[in-house]
Amino acid sequence: MVEELIRLFKKYKLTMSVISALILLLGTFFFLQKKPEEIADFPELSTTTVTEKNLEETTVESPEVIQIVVDVKGAVKNEGLYELDASARVHDAIQAAGGFSEQADKKSVNLAQKLNDEAVVYVASQGENVSVIQAATNNSATEGTSGDATKKINLNTATVADLTTISGIGEKRANDILAYRDSNGGFSSVDDLNNVSGIGDKTLENIRPYVTVD
């Protein structure tokens, strides 16, 4: 039986080799034909979509930072106008002006007080007749401008910084007003300003809309 199989194998060896080769070629052909189709079935990745999404996420507009401008005067190293953040305080304004000068009376200002746009920050020199700013009771210069008649300055609590925000009142005149107040126990009416050296009827009428007596 075994000898018969060997005889048949030798007889048809060439035929079987040809058939095997054909089967292998056909298998390879069908495999190669199917491969591109399978590859084509994979979805294409959209790099454009991903890029646009990333751009949208990274191009968010930053919130606008509100700035204010304040006028820093007196015993500071560099007087002038300074642009600060809306959340700035008197301390920030003085730092922007280079800090206190050697002659500065640091008690003349409230470093913690918040600033508004167009505010005036005045730092008195040592020896000036200036009251310490009381943020809870005073209408400070940082709370308005010289042209704002709705925020009148109380003559009995005002500081030099308050008074110099009024048009026509300089540092010397402000000190004269405080000197009169200290020597006379305060003002009983706005008309008492006529008794201050250098303030006549015309000046009084100009500043009357901006001052009060409480």
- Calpha distance 91→109 (Å, rounded): 9
The helix or strand, by DSSP H or E, that contains position 95, with its residue range, turns out to be helix 90-96
Residues whose CB falls within 8 Å of the CB of residue 14, separated by 6 or more in sequence, listed in order: none
- CA torsion, ordered 37, 38, 39, 42, to nearest 10 deg: 120
Confidence at residue 81, expressed as pLDDT on a 0 to 100 scale: 92
Buried b (16+ CB within 10 A) or exposed e, 91-126: ebbbbbbeebbeebbeebbbeebbbeebbbbbbbee
Q: Are 133 and 140 in contact (CB under 8 A)?
A: yes
Q: Of how many residues is the chain composed?
A: 214
What pLDDT digit, counting tens, does each position of 10-59 carry?
776 777 777 877 888 877 777 777 555 555 555 555 555 555 555 555 55
Q: pTM above 0.75?
A: no
Can you tell me whether residue 69 is helix, strand or coil? strand
pLDDT at 139 over 60: no
Query: What is the pLDDT confidence band of residue 134, given thresholds at 50, 70 and 90?
Result: very low
What pLDDT digit, counting tens, does each position of 170-205 carry?
899 999 999 999 999 999 999 999 999 889 888 898
Q: Are 142 and 90 in contact (CB under 8 A)?
A: yes
